[in-house]
């Protein structure tokens, strides 16, 4: 169980700015590339309750539930592409898959979206960072995405993990240095 899952159990469900109750929100996938950069199809999903205003409250939404977090961060990714948005979108989908919270029809597609989302971090945002709640401490998103792919039983494409002199995992593009 990761931190996101623990937080989801501890906080009450928020109300979206329109007053909609999000506590019963579930993910119903419409597009095979929902939440995977560079696609913006999540903005067209009839199941997505969010628009660009979600940028102001995305962290509060993420802390409550993976379904809400997926749509919030996928929307944030579509309107403001960053590695942080892509990482948390993929992580929410992975949590939904691992928690068997998708319909049987969406389970395989959800797995592919999580893998593709993590791969998009590597391919498009490999140098991006994510920060702690204070905005003080930062760490790279690429190693988290690489590990996310492996945790789902996938194989990262085009990247190799190497241990650096600092003892930390570093990613190197295959064929690069």
Q: What is the pLDDT of residue 176?
A: 66
Query: CA–CA distance from 7 to each of 2, 30, 88, 142 (Å)?
Result: 9, 27, 14, 23
Q: What is the mean pLDDT of the chain?
A: 90
Residue-wise pLDDT tens digits, 27-65: 999 999 999 999 999 999 999 999 999 999 999 999 999
User: Average pLDDT in the 142-165 region?
Assistant: 96
- Is the separation of the CB atoms in 70 and 50 below 8 Å? no
Least confident of 8-12, 76-80, 158-162: 8-12
Residue of higher predicted confidence among 8 and 70: 70
Residue of higher predicted confidence among 175 and 38: 38
Q: What is the pLDDT of residue 23?
A: 83
Residue-wise DSSP of 34-100? TT-TT--GGGG-TT----GGGGGTHHHHHTT-HHHHHHHHHHHHHHS--HHHHHHHHHHHHHHHHTT
DSSP three-state, residue 172: strand
Residue-wise pLDDT tens digits, 82-130: 999 999 999 999 999 999 999 999 999 999 999 999 999 999 999 999 9
User: Average pLDDT in the 148-152 region?
Assistant: 98
Q: What is the pLDDT of residue 177?
A: 54
- Is the separation of the CB atoms in 82 and 113 below 8 Å? no
- Do strands 138-140 and 159-163 pair parallel, antiparallel, or not at all (unpaired)? unpaired
């Amino acid at each position: 169980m990761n931190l996101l899952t623990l937080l989801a159990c501890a906080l009450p469900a928020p109300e979206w700015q329109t007053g909609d109750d999000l506590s019963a929100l579930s993910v119903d996938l419409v597009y095979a590339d929902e939440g995977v950069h560079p696609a913006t199809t999540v903005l067209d999903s009839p199941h997505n309750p969010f628009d660009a205003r979600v940028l102001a409250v995305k962290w509060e939404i993420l802390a409550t539930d993976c379904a809400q977090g997926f749509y919030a961060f996928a929307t944030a990714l579509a309107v403001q592409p960053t590695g942080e948005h892509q990482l948390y979108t993929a992580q929410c989908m992975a949590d939904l898959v691992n928690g068997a919270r998708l319909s049987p029809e969406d389970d395989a597609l959800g797995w592919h979206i999580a893998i593709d989302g993590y791969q998009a971090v590597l391919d498009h945002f490999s140098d991006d960072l994510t920060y702690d709640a204070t905005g003080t401490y930062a760490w790279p998103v690429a190693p988290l995405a690489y590990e996310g792919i492996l945790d789902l039983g996938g194989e990262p494409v085009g990247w190799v993990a190497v241990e650096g002199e600092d003892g930390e995992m570093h990613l190197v593009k295959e064929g690069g240095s």
